[in-house]
Structure 1
Amino acid sequence: MHHSFSLLILSVMLLKVYAGKVLVFPVEGSHWINMKVLIEELHSRGHSIAVVRASNSWTIEEESPYYRSITVNLGRFDADSVSSFSARLLQLRREKNNFWTYLLLQMEVVEQLSKMHQDICNMMTLMFQDKILMNSLLDAKYDLILTDPAFGGGVFLARRLGLPLVLNVRWTDRAEAHFAIAPSPLSYVPVPGTELTDKMTFLQRLLNIMFYFFLLCHGLTIPGPHYTAFCHRYFGPDVDYFSLFQDADIWLMRNDFTFEFPRPTMPNVVYMGGFQCKPSKPLPADLEGFVQSSGEHGVIIMSLGTLFSELPYDIADEIAAAFAQLPQKVIWRYTGPRPATLGNNTLLVDWLPQNDLLGHPKTRVFVAHGGTNGVQEAIYHGVPMVGLPLVFDQPDNLSRMNAKGTAKIVNIATLDRTVFLEALKEVLYEPSYRENMQRLSRLHRDQPMKPLDHAMFWIEYVMRNRGAPHLRTQSFRMSWMAYHSVDVILTLLAIVLIISLMTFSLIRLLCKRILLKNKIKHG
């Protein structure tokens, strides 16, 4: 008993020694879902967490056993505004695929994102001007800031407080995160939005480069003006706002190379793809009974995420009619009116335990919109997909799965019951889809360390060492000309040209003298 008590005291003391204080600046929606996984794991390891949230947040709870909330009384984009924005994007996505439709879609995204970035700047202005709040954050002596750089708030707060910065990242405010810090040869690294692979034809490489310049313009015209003005106001005119992103100590990437195409990376990039995935737990009794009633045919799971849990009635009817023609049972997360064509084999639910259903041995296919979290869970459990990409990164995510032979994509603009049914049958009965996905699952799981433990190690590494500046590249501080050694190449070419001209002049001079001597000699 004495030894056990001593061991307990020692364990508590060690926990105290290594416990840190983390300030979290998250992003709403699905981004919060994966940030919450990191928060809960940090809490389980004895760390103290505070979360900055807007007063009208629709996903980040104010009360939680895992963290303390710091609520800022500002925010324009509540659940209703985001839902209406998503509905508008879906409407545009359904229209005939042409350049004009694509342009309208991009203009809609540009307008709304610009408002969101401005909203973040307003929120940060309120925080920075609140001396009591800022002094309390300084007095708390946090060890680091953990943020999602899809928006810039957490990055600016880290600069203001002088704290090490860890990013939970897939996207920055400009593009996919690798493009911010890692070499990205456009000959084989596809730009987000192109839905290309790492094997491109000449025309595809041309398209890839055009999209890259489009992304550069996107960064300069949407977040750029808001964040540049904010930076100049609080950090001085010499601070380039995007360099604050690039100065992050660790980039925890929410992907890996079972999902992503191989590409160059950097020392401070840590891959934690599938970190939110875990073994399935038993289903609730009623849901388990429904699954077991499917017999040898198994079940199909359908979820289009929180933003698209309700669809236009005509699309919902076509999907339901296709499901009704299959022998499989279907569990569909759907909150809209009951489709008129719904079959007896389909169960509509407001919420479903997605991870647990994907891990069930009777699950045959996952019908999904292609969000990163859902794709990673499908890979982890080895379940092939039928993809209905709608907006944002979803088309690119599913195009990667399609290229790897693990998913069949259906365009929402051309979806009807026949097209959808054929896609379902192809994935259900063509064994290569399941075989390919199970191969990806084996590759993903074959790691020396679980992705979540890997992420925890590097977060705690930054705590212990007060940052990781030795892992940060200086390449982004170089000019474009210096980075690509254009100045060196031009200098070498100039030297070669000068030597060539001098040699040519010398030879010419010698030739003239020889000719002159010959003339004098024969004169």
Structure 2
Amino acid sequence: MYSNTIRIAILLIIPFNVISLNILSILPYHGKSHFFVFKVYLQELARRGHNVTVISHFPQTDPPRNYHDISLAGTIEAIEDNLPFHRSFLSILEVGLYLTNSGKVNCEIMLANKDVQKLVKDRPRFDVIVVEQFNSDCALGIAYKLQAPVVGIMSHILMPWHYNRFGIPSNPSFVPFHFLEGGTKPTLMQKVERTVLDVYFKTMFYVFSQRSNEQTLAKYFDDVPPLENLAREIKFLLIYHNFILTGSRLFPANVIEVGGYHVKETKPLTGELLKFMEEAEHGVVYISFGSVVKSSTMPEDKVKAVLEAIAELPQRFIWKWENQNMLLEKNKLYTSNWLPQVDILGNPKTLAFLSHAGMGSTTEAIHFGVPMVAMPVIGDQPANAAAIEESGLGVQLQISDLTKDNLVAAFKKVLDPTFRKNAKLLSKAWHDRPMAPLDTAIYWTEYAARYPNMTFRSAAADVPSYQYYNLDVIGVFAIALLSTIYIFKGIVYTICCKNRKTTSNNEHSSKNKNKRRSKRE
């Protein structure tokens, strides 16, 4: 008994041995909304004692002692509040051009950076390298030179070119497409659009972006393998999904859903915003189109439709609006070019959320159980909006359908107490996980470092396309069927020829007999 007490005391006194990893994160894209998600994960790695080095356009002003920046800031303008409120088929095609060009530029800027060059030259030992999977594979070349296992991270749903490399089914009949509406129940025309645009986006990525990245890498290194081969060596992909929102998907074991880890605890509101919400007798509806889409660029007729809908409803409204124009009287509408979104959504007075359906905003809405009116503009927002409606978190309203009557109807639907109750239940299911999403992301990052020589990818990622789609099997059956038809035709032809010859001989014999009979007579 006494000895057991001593053992327990020793265990309490001696700290647990925590292994500190050297982790490099390569984030060459200049989108602030992406880094906003990743920052939480990277700072948590540092908080848990790991040495974290981050190549990005967003160096931290007050980082932890073991968090080190290699800054790309100032080399290109960050993506924030600079996209117009507009959606068309042409704008979708323009996204393909943007992704191609930005992937090329991001790679060139990163490799030209002196600190990045020094890092690769010095070749410090890293236990794991975390790489964003978005518009460029250039970072995989650096990871190859540093010879460390790679973990991919995302702040959105899969891009078209990610399915093959991880062996994930991408059937357009039920798999949502990043840039299009339809969700898991597309119409025939939407399936046709998905098939065409899938070819378009993959062609732009493989032929132009990835090939350009390889050429840029070749200017600095002469031994980097094809980037697609390196992409298939990624140990794990931490995808910003959770099936409660996006539905059940056919992901292999090395694609891990970690959606929701960036949402922090709410802080109390202050000042005029707090007063505005407290005095909202019928609650508040929040309007924001995120950090990328500039809502003040909304066409005049669409602004009028929103304002008329606001005037018709009893709730107060808070709108992230980027200029100083007075839209409505202050006791009805509160506007600002910056708003504490998490603190607003987490306030019990907030009853609904009109949003562009970006993954960050959607995640925050489901975190707090706030029903949404989703009005997608660009990128993965159409697919997210479909997931919002299919999951029961909200309803969709396309920009082309935005009128006062349609918006009022959408608001009334999500403001209904029964609908809001279901959204709260959905939020409860979202939080009900065996491990918190941030803990999950950290666990699998550390796991990759512990087993660097193991391969976790699905066999489907290594199967040639003709085998994946069973074209070889179909070919065997086709040849067998054609051979059977050919043999059957040959048999029939032989039998017919034999019968025809027998008949001809009989006729000829009969004629000869008739001739001999005629001569005797």
TM-score by length of 1: 0.82
**Counterparts of 1:172 and 1:435, CA distance in 2:** 27
Q: For 2:40, which of 29, 37, 41 is the aligned residue?
A: 37
Give the partner amino acid of 2:254.
Answer: N
Residues 421, 507 of structure 1: CA spacing in aligned structure 2 closer, same or farther, 3 A cutoff? closer
Change (3 A) 1:161 1:390: same
Q: Specify whether residues 68 and 238 from structure 1 end up closer, same or farther in structure 2 by C-alpha distance, changes over 3 A only.
A: closer
Q: Partner residue of 2:313?
A: 326
Q: CA 1:400 to 1:425, structure 2 compared with 1: closer, same or farther past 3 Å?
A: same
Q: Distance in 2 between matches of 1:240 and 1:493?
A: 35
Aligned to 1:485: 470
Contact 1:174 / 1:216 at 8 angstroms: preserved in 2?
Answer: no
User: Is it true that 1:372 corresponds to 2:372 in the alignment?
Assistant: no
Describe the shift of the 1:339–1:422 C-alpha distance in structure 2 as closer, same or farther (beyond 3 A): farther
Specify the SS of the correspondent of 1:125. Answer: helix
Distance 2:296 2:383 in 1: 21
Q: Displacement, 1:449? A: 1.4
Q: Tell me the SS of whatever aligns to 1:120.
A: helix
Distance 1:209 1:290, change over 3 A: same
Distance 1:304 1:504, change over 3 A: closer
Contact 2:144 2:224 in 1 (8 A): no
Task: Answer yes or no: is 1:132 the counterpart of 2:135.
Answer: no
* 8 Å CA contact 1:231, 1:237 repeated in 2: no
Distance in 2 between residues matched to 1:511 and 1:239, nearest whole Å: 63
Structure 1 residues 412-446: Cα deviation after superposition (integer angstroms, max 9, x where no partner): 45545555444333322x34532332232132122
Q: Per the alignment, do residues 258 and 272 of structure 1 end up closer, same or farther by CA in structure 2, a change over 3 Å counting?
A: same
CA contact (8 A) 1:22 1:49 kept: yes
Q: How many Å apart are 1:46 and its aligned residue?
A: 1.0
Among 282, 297, 311, which residue is 2:296 paired with?
311
Separation in 2 of the partners of 1:432 and 1:363? 16
Aligned to 1:97: none
Q: Distance in 2 between matches of 1:111 and 1:514?
A: 69
Q: Does residue 1:52 correspond to 2:55, yes or no?
A: yes
Contact 1:317 1:342 in 2 (8 A): no
Instruction: Give the match for residue 129 of structure 2.
Output: 145
- Trace 1:111-126 onto structure 2 (pairs within 5 A): 111-126=97-112
The amino acid across from 1:67 in the alignment is Y
Aligned mate of 2:14, from 10, 14, 21: 10
- 1:275-300 superposed Cα distances (whole Å, 9 cap, x missing partner): 223554443476444322223x1222
Q: Deviation at 1:32?
A: 0.4
Q: Are the aligned partners of 2:96 and 2:201 in contact in 1 as well (CA < 8 Å)?
A: no
User: 1:69 is aligned with what amino acid?
Assistant: D
Tell me the CA shift for residue 22 of structure 1. 0.9
**Deviation of the 1:239 alpha carbon:** 3.9
Give the Cα–Cα distance (whole angstroms) in 1 for the partners of residues 177 and 73 of structure 2: 37
1:311 is paired with a residue whose SS is helix
Structure 1 segments unaligned to the other structure (5+ residues): 94-100
Task: Mark the CA change 1:497 to 1:176 in structure 2 (over 3 Å): closer, same or farther.
Answer: closer
Q: In the alignment, what sits opposite 1:392? A: 379
Number of residue pairs aligned between Structure 1 and Structure 2: 496
- Larger deviation: 312-321 or 269-278? 312-321
Q: Tell me by how many angstroms 1:40 deviates.
A: 1.8
Deviations 1:142-191 (A, max 9, x none): 11111211132332221221211111125699537446420222222232
Cα 1:282–1:220, aligned 2, differ >3 Å: closer, same or farther?
A: same
Which residue, 279, 289, 295 being the options, matches 1:293?
A: 279
Pair 478,176 (structure 1): closer, same or farther in 2 beyond 3 Å? closer
Pairwise CA distance, 1:405: 3.8
Structure 2: runs of 5+ lacking an equivalent: 1-5, 510-521
How much has 1:72 moved relative to structure 2? 4.3
Residue 249 of structure 1 deviates from its aligned partner by 0.5
Indicate the percent of aligned positions where both proteins have the same amino acid: 26
Amino acid at match of 2:355: A
Report if aligned partners of 2:284, 2:349 keep a CA contact under 8 Å in 1. Answer: yes
Cα separation, partners in 2 of 1:33 and 1:502, compared to 1, 3 Å? same
User: Which is higher, the Rg of structure 1 or of structure 2?
Assistant: 2
How big is the shift at 1:106? Answer: 3.5
SS of residue paired to 1:215? helix
CA-based RMSD of the aligned residues comes to 3.6
Query: Separation in 2 of the partners of 1:60 and 1:83?
Result: 20
With over 3 angstroms needed to count, the CA separation of the structure-2 counterparts of 1:487 and 1:74, relative to structure 1, is: farther
- Corresponding residue SS for 1:113: helix
Which of 419, 429, 433 is 1:447 aligned to? 433
Give the C-alpha shift of residue 73 in structure 1: 7.5
Higher relative contact order (CA 8 A, sep 6+): 2
Describe the shift of the 1:285–1:72 C-alpha distance in structure 2 as closer, same or farther (beyond 3 A).
Answer: closer
AA matched with 2:45: L
Give 2:411's aligned residue.
424
C-alpha spacing 1:234/1:503, structure 2 compared with 1 (3 Å): farther
Tell whether the 8 Å contact from 1:309 to 1:333 is kept in structure 2 after alignment. Answer: no
State the distance in 2 between where 1:129 and 1:36 align: 21
TM-score normalised to structure 2 length? 0.82
2:263–2:364: 8 Å Cα contact kept in structure 1? yes
Q: Distance in 2 between matches of 1:264 and 1:427?
A: 30
